[in-house]
Structures are given as structure tokens and as C-alpha cells.
Structure 1
Amino acid sequence: MPAPPSAPAPGPEAAVTRFVVLGDSLSEGVGDRVGTRWRGWAALLADALHADTDGGVMFRNLAVSGAQSLDVAERQLPEALALRPHLASVVVGVNDTLRRTFDIGLLARRLDRVCAELTAGGAVLLTACLPDPGRMLALPAPLARPLARRQRAVNAVVHALSARHGAVHLHLDGPAWTEDRDLWSADRLHPGERGHRAVAAAFHRLLRERGLAHGAPPSPEPEQPPPTRTDALLWLATAGTAWVVRRCGDLLPQLLLLAAAELRHSATGTRVRLDARADLALSRALAATMRT
């Protein structure tokens, strides 16, 4: 395993840290609105990378809501490489699990290429494993289990690639994150302001341990009031309904097939076959990326 990249060597360009963010809505900042725009954990972290006496940060957020691994590899990566980042965040995968085209092998190859090209350009990577959406949305078990199986596979790939490329890695799928509802917005899929601040502070701590963050950590206290039950109901009636409608044509038929298979195998006591099939696909995906 190669040694983790270190901080940029001192020189004319090292005074300013170039921080580029790739990914989906979580990194775009959805759930942490300031005025008419999303802010999010990445912007909070950027502000905390340097002390006031340091050179400063060039921050660029390329993350887009709904992005999948293909979007990161084909659209965001070229723009990120052109910016020659010192730090590059790559957090993606949940949207892949919500598509009928989900393929853990393809996702692994795409993410491996993204990580390899960024680190080859001298960037230190920031990565995170994420909670599965079925659990966060409290879906019925036949619907939740297939999504959980997919998200576990994505997280396993992210774990392996993070170790391979020396990434600063954050575990956002553990109970400390998923069971604290104060960290999440009304939609249950994105962190609220408190959650974004917690993610920023956790990344800041890990970066500080590597000597890559010198400013004060982001404050954990939100500036906006937390979402109320009314906010949650309003989201379900408006944005939540729109989200379901957008996904129905793509995800729903496949999800219903997965749920039917889940119920069938549960009834016959053969659900272990589904787990074994997923484990085999994951093993092949990991083996393929390790050969490159």
C-alpha cells in the first residue's frame, strides 16, 4: 500500500490550499441553507483549514445534487484535475444504489480511477462511507434490505479504496451519526446544519492530525433553528413527493422486483442466497480494482 500523501511542500503555491469537492447533494450542502443558497460541511471546513495568519484557501465545490459515480468520473473529475487541488473530497454512491442500473463493479472501477488520478496529481483525498437510505427513511424491510445490501457494498468499496489511496476517511454510517436525529434535516436523507457542522468538524480533526488543518475547528452550534415536525410534513408533501415521482420511472419497478425477490426468498428460507450473490459481486469488484 502506498504511503498517504503529505501536505504540499513549502513554496510559492503552498501558501494557498486548493480544496476541490466532488460528489452529490451531501457535498453540495443540501440541508444547510444560508439565505438562498446551500452552504454545507465542505464550505464550513474550507473556512477552518487555515488560521487568519496563513495563506488562505481556494475553494471550489463541483458537487451536484443527484450525481452518481459516472457523473463524478466523467464530468467533475476533469474540472477538478484542471484546478490541481491539494485537497479533494470524493463522497458519492448513494444515488447509484437508488438506480436500476446499479453495478458495484462499475462503481468500483470509476471511483478507483477518480481517486488514482487525483492522488497522482498530488491531492490528499477526503472520503466517507454513508448510511443506507432505506434505513434512514425507515422503509419496510422488503424494500430496505436490498438498498442496505447495496449501500454496504458501496461502503466496502470506499473503505478499500480509501486505504489504497491513503485517504482521510470518515465513517458516517455508524450509530453515532445515524441514530442522532438532531444531525439530520427534515428529509432524513441529508444532514441539517448541525449535521453538516459535525461532518466538517470531524474532517477537520482528521486533517489536523495529519498537519493539514491549522485554523480553529468549525463551531458545532447551528445558526438556524432545527427543522420542526411541520417542516418534515411540508417536505413530504412537496419536495418529498416530487422526489418520489422523479424516481418512480427509474427506481420503483426495480425496487418492487427486488422486494418481491426478498419476500420470496424469505418465505422459502433462502434469503442467504441474495446475500451470497451480493458478496460475490463485491468480491469480484474489489479484486478487479486491486489488479489495476
Structure 2
Amino acid sequence: MVPRALRFVALGDSLTAGVGDRVGGGWRGWAALLAGGLAGAGVDADFRNLAVSGALTEDVAERQTPEALALGPDIASVVVGVNDTLRCTFDIEDLTLRLDTVCAALAARGTVLLTACLPDPGSMLGLPAPLARPLARRQRAVNAVVHALSERYGAVHLHAADASWVADRSMWSADRLHPGERGHRMIARRFHELLAARGLAHGTAPGCEPDQPLPTRSASLLWLATAGTGWVARRCTDLLPQLLQLAGAEVRHWARGSSARLDRSAEHALSSALAAVSLDVPLARMGE
């Protein structure tokens, strides 16, 4: 009897869609690299990537999850949330409710979940502190939610927000927001290690070394002058007015010595969000 193929479905946004790891005329990415090392000899891996660049948690919940459930995955990655932090409509409670619904639906059918906490976009882009801090606060809250849900559903969780990963520019593509090939390989390899430790990965781990040369400074400048301009314009239309208000609040509280109030407000919103799905998490997790 021929063993059934292992089914791996990837849900999420541009990170999982593979942006930054170009192969031929399209994107490959960490999920495709991981899929190649999941199955052992004599067993295939059936991989479907449902991730879409720009996807929000709402998109994953309403569009990608029903399709994923119909595929009956053995393993499903759910990595999303950064785009939510870049929207003026950001609401940590709404995000928590949607992610909990997604994880619950997949876990209920026995699917093994892959999750990750991620660095905030402000630090990646090197924004001035008054602009970067509100985004960092939002991403820390998202990461805390992902930590709590990962524990609830027994997910294979990858810590991808650590300083060494963020600081190593060779891991990142020219746009400074998405991993380059080396970064995607690192994510795939680390997930493979975590899955192998649980006896869930039986193939060869993805290699560390990239096939393509690392992006040059000129390539980064070219991206900023071409595609980057459009990216900034799209985000500015939606987020910038609110972000400027948030930055103004940061400056005012800093001048008054009351910046801790903003942190407490974010922690209260996080606690309320987790309470909405009957979860609790130490506030220290806001720093992860």
C-alpha cells in the first residue's frame, strides 16, 4: 500500500507567499523550502501555498481558512499580523478573535499548527523613534497573542523577533521588510528543526546557503526609488495620518515623562483581547 502524501498548507501574507526569495519569474519562500524537507523516503509532500501579499488577519480567517480546511492539511502554517499593525483600523481584540477562530478550526481536525512571532516593521525600516514606537507596541501585542494561542493549540512556534535575526542585514531583501533567500532558508530550517524534534519532519533539512547573490546597496536604493515609492504611498494613504497622531502623542508623553502610560494602555488592550477568548498571558510577553 502506498503511503498517503503528507499535506502541508501555508496561510498568511507576503512573508509566507515568499516575497524576497525570487526563483525564476516568481516567489518561492520559506514554506516551499520547508515542504521539500517534510516527507521521508517513499512519501510525498502535497504542498499548497494560500498566502497572499498584503493579507490581513481578516483575509486569512474569511478567505484562506475555508480553503485550507477543504484541503484537509496535516500541517498548516498561520503567520500573519504585520499588515494589521500598518492599518489605521488596527484592533488587537478583533485580531485575537480572528486568529483564535482560525487556529481552533484547524486544530479541531487534528492539524499541526506552525506559528511565528515577528519583528516590528518600524525597526526594520529604521523609522525615527516617535514613529517606530507605536508600531513596535502593536507588533509586541500581536506577538503576545500569537504566543498565547500557540500554547493553547500546541503549535510549533518559531521565535523570529529576536535581535540577532533583525540585525543581520544579510538575512533581508532589498526592501528591508521581507527576508531574502538566506532569511527564508533560515526560517525554513528552523521550522524543520522544531518539527523534526516532534517527529513530524522526516526529510532533509533545507540548506542554509543561498543560490542567489545577496542584495547590494544599489539594489536597495533602486527598490526604494521604484517599487518602494509605491509601497510607501499605499501605506501612507491608510496609516500615515493616524501614525503622525500617534507620533505626536509619543513626543508629548516623552516631554512630560509619562511614556509609561502608553505602554500601560497597550497592555490593558492586550489583556482585554486575551480575556475575550478566555486567555491570559504575563505582561512581560509584551516585550517579546
Band of TM-score, shorter chain: over 0.9
How many residue pairs match? The answer is: 280
What's the CA shift string for 1:246-271, capped at 9, x where partnerless?
A: 11211110111100111111111111
Q: Tell me the residue number matched to 2:120.
A: 132
State how far apart, in whole Å, the 2-side matches of 1:14 and 1:210 are: 20
Q: Does 1:80 align with 2:68?
A: yes
Pairwise mapping of residues 33-112 of structure 1 onto structure 2 (< 5 A)?
Answer: 33-51=22-40, 53-112=41-100
Corresponding residue SS for 1:290: coil
- CA distance in structure 2 between the partners assigned to 1:38 and 1:85 by the alignment: 22
Q: Check if 1:233 corresponds to 2:184.
A: no
Counterpart check, 1:206 vs 2:200: no
In 2, the alpha carbon distance for the partners of 1:232 and 1:85 equals 37
Contact 1:134 1:147 in 2 (8 A): yes
Task: Answer yes or no: is the 8 Å Cα contact 2:172–2:182 preserved in 1.
Answer: yes
Structure 2 CA distance for partners of 1:175 and 1:14, relative to 1, 3 Å = farther
Which of 21, 24, 31 aligns to 2:20? It is: 31
| One-letter code aligned to 1:23 | G
What residue ranges of structure 1 are gaps of 5+ in the alignment? 1-11
Deviations 1:182-220 (A, max 9, x none): 111111110000000000000000000111101110010
Matched, 1:166 2:150: no
Output the amino acid matched with 1:184. W
Give 5+ residue unaligned stretches, structure 2.
280-288
Stretches of 4+ moved more than 4 A in 1?
Answer: none
C-alpha change, 1:13 and 1:179, in structure 2 (3 Å) is farther
- The separation in 1 between residues aligned to 2:86 and 2:182, in whole angstroms, is 26
Identity of aligned residues (%): 69
Task: For 2:101 and 2:208, locate their aligned partners in 1 and report how far apart those are by CA, in whole Å.
Answer: 34
SS in 2 for 1:249: helix
Query: Could you say which residue in structure 2 is the equivalent of 1:6?
Result: none
Pairwise CA distance, 1:13: 9.0
Equivalent residues of 2:3, 2:42 under 8 A apart? no
When the two structures are superposed, what TM-score results if normalisation uses the length of structure 1? 0.94
Shift of residue 14, structure 1, vs aligned partner: 5.7
Amino acid at match of 1:126: L
Counterpart code for 1:49: L
Residue matched to 1:4: none
TM-score, scaled to structure 2: 0.95
Contact persistence 2:56–2:81 (CA under 8 A): yes
Which is further off, 179-188 or 191-200?
Answer: 179-188
Amino acid at match of 1:201: R
Is the CA contact 1:15–1:54 (under 8 Å) kept in the aligned structure 2? Answer: no
- Indicate whether 1:284 and 2:272 are aligned: yes
The residue identity in structure 2 corresponding to 1:43 is A
Contact 2:33 2:206 in 1 (8 A): yes
| Counterpart check, 1:189 vs 2:177 | yes
Match of 1:157, as an amino acid? V
Match of 2:8 in 1: 19
AA at the equivalent of 1:193: E
